[in-house]
Amino acid sequence: MSEGNNLKEYLTEIGASKVGFADVDGLASEFTDLPNGISIVLKIPKRAMKYVEEEDYESYWSCFHSQIDKLTEISLKGEKYIKNLGYNAFALTMDRNECDMKKLLSILPYKTIATKSGMGWIGRSALFVTPEYGSAVALGGILTDMPLELGVPITDSQCDDCENCQNACPVDAINPQKWNDRLNREDIIDIETCREYIVDQYKNGLGCTKCMCECKLTKKYLGVE
């Protein structure tokens, strides 16, 4: 088995739901010596989705944050594994992949690595969508110079005629335009309207995950459609 396949197997053994390899050469100016991206997908457990249904956001967020901790652990272990092979690596953990919380943008978005790895696409909701788990996923990543068998990027939406998330959004923040990798995020979602609504909901101990829960592929994962 190749080193790349061994790495994939290792990351899956320690908890990743899916792993993909992507060409991200030149996309993150601070990491020009690390041209390959490893995308790590972690499914959000079904029990967490149940909390949303029950509007128990405290339990949902606690579960979600433990998934983020798990992603951090997997990414750092992956970094160590690669370094032990003699290559360089940098785990893009949440605290390292600086995020502008106002614009919800990071230096190298996890979604970019994920779509370029070919594991899924950006849904109408602007969330990353996988065929297996819909948008009920959390994403992590590692940058490296390790030679890897890179995936074929997905450059267009595979949402087809589905509009479930758009119809479910309580503040009409989702635009009719379907994603392709030539568009900006603002072309498919009004992020400011979404953010304002979420902040408002948060003040009342709630949240908004409608677009994630109503995704037809999330429902398929949950076995409710």
Nearer of residues 83 and 219 to ligand SF4, judged by Cβ:
219
Instruction: Give the residues lining the site for ligand SF4 (CB under 6 A).
Output: 123-125, 129, 135, 159, 162-165, 168-169, 171, 173-174, 189, 194, 197-198, 208, 210-211, 214-217
Smallest distance, ligand SF4 to C-beta of residue 92, A: 23
Give least dist CB 131 to ligand SF4, A: 10
Report the residue number, 33 or 200, with the smaller CB distance to ligand SF4. Answer: 200
- Burial class of residue 225 (count of CB atoms within 10 Å of its CB; 0-12, 13-18, 19+): exposed
Query: In whole angstroms, how close is the CB of 160 to ligand SF4 at the nearest point?
Result: 8
Least Å distance between CB 76 and ligand SF4?
29
Contact 122, 186 (CB under 8 A): no
| Distance of closest approach, residue 144 Cβ to ligand SF4, in angstroms | 30
The residue whose Cβ lies closest to ligand SF4 is: 123
Nearer to ligand SF4, 31 or 64 (CB): 64
Number of residues that this document lists for the chain: 225
Q: Which residue in 72, 60, 61 sits closest to 15, CA to CA?
A: 72
Residues contacting residue 63 through CB under 8 Å, at least 6 positions apart: 44, 45, 47, 48, 51
Measured from the CB of residue 22, what is the shortest distance to ligand SF4 in angstroms?
A: 21
Strand order in the sheet with 89-91: 18-23, 36-43, 137-144, 89-91
CA 43 to chain centre: 10
Helices 3-13 and 57-84, packing angle to 10 deg: 150
Nearer to ligand SF4, 9 or 172 (CB): 172
| Distance of alpha carbon 48 from alpha carbon 70, whole angstroms | 15
Question: Which residue, 32 or 167, has its beta carbon nearer to ligand SF4?
Answer: 167
* Residue with smaller CB distance to ligand SF4, 43 or 210: 210
**How far apart, in whole angstroms, are the C-alpha atoms of residue 196 and residue 185?**
17
